[in-house]
């Protein structure tokens, strides 16, 4: 087990435009033992506003982990990942790609842009919940995250 404080609230940014996948992620995280605060951005522009604390998100918490879909409106996930990983203040935040794309091109491109891992969303409800629980177990329970 890592040194993460189990009583510390873990900040998660979910960048996802599908309301069904947002609900499933919320449900999966609710079932975990880790205290977490889930912020949701419905597009890449809103995600950047949260990360850069702009506009109505001026008081947003810095996420400990980003769950990023690739197919987003306004700024897609690939471009958002590029911007995150090229920003000195954001690049150490782990980014988990959580997408429906199985395209080898997307897998290669996101790893080349320094994504921390790539997960294809299962279509089955229970498998999706298991993926969210696994992300929580690994990234929030085992991995030591930067403060």
pLDDT, one tens digit per residue, over 38-59 is 999 999 999 999 999 999 999 9
| pTM of the predicted model as reported, rounded to 2 decimal places | 0.90
Cα 49 to Cα 46, 55, 57, 58, 116: the distances in Å are 5, 7, 6, 8, 22
Find out whether 38 and 14 touch, Cβ atoms under 8 Å. Answer: yes
Beta bridge partners of 14: 40, 67
Distance from C-alpha of 81 to C-alpha of 56, rounded to nearest angstrom: 22
Residues in the chain, overall count: 147
Phi then psi for residue 98, to 5 deg, are -130, 100
Find out whether 106 and 68 touch, Cβ atoms under 8 Å. Answer: no
Find out whether 16 and 40 touch, Cβ atoms under 8 Å. Answer: yes
For 78-104, how does the pLDDT look when each residue is reduced to its tens digit (9 = 90+)? 999 999 999 999 999 999 999 999 999
Q: Is the pLDDT of residue 116 over 90?
A: yes
pLDDT tier for residue 2 given thresholds of 50, 70 and 90: very low
Distance from C-alpha of 81 to C-alpha of 67, rounded to nearest angstrom: 11
Query: Which architecture characterizes domain 10-138 according to CATH?
Result: 3-Layer(aba) Sandwich (3.40)
Phi then psi for residue 99, to 5 deg, are -140, 165
């Amino acid at each position: 087990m890592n040194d993460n404080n189990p009583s510390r609230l873990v900040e998660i940014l979910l960048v996802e435009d599908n309301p069904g996948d947002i609900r499933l992620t919320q449900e999966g995280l609710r079932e975990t033992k880790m205290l977490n605060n889930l912020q949701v951005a419905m597009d890449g522009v809103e995600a950047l506003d949260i990360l850069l604390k702009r506009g109505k998100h001026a008081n947003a918490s810095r996420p400990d982990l980003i769950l990023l879909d690739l197919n987003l409106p306004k700024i897609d996930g690939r471009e958002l990942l590029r911007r995150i990983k090229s920003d000195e203040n954001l690049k150490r935040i782990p980014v988990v790609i959580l997408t429906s794309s199985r395209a080898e091109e997307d897998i290669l491109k996101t790893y080349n842009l320094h994504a921390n891992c790539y997960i294809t969303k299962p279509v089955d409800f229970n498998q999706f919940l298991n993926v969210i629980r696994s992300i929580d177990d690994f990234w929030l329970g085992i991995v030591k995250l930067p403060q």
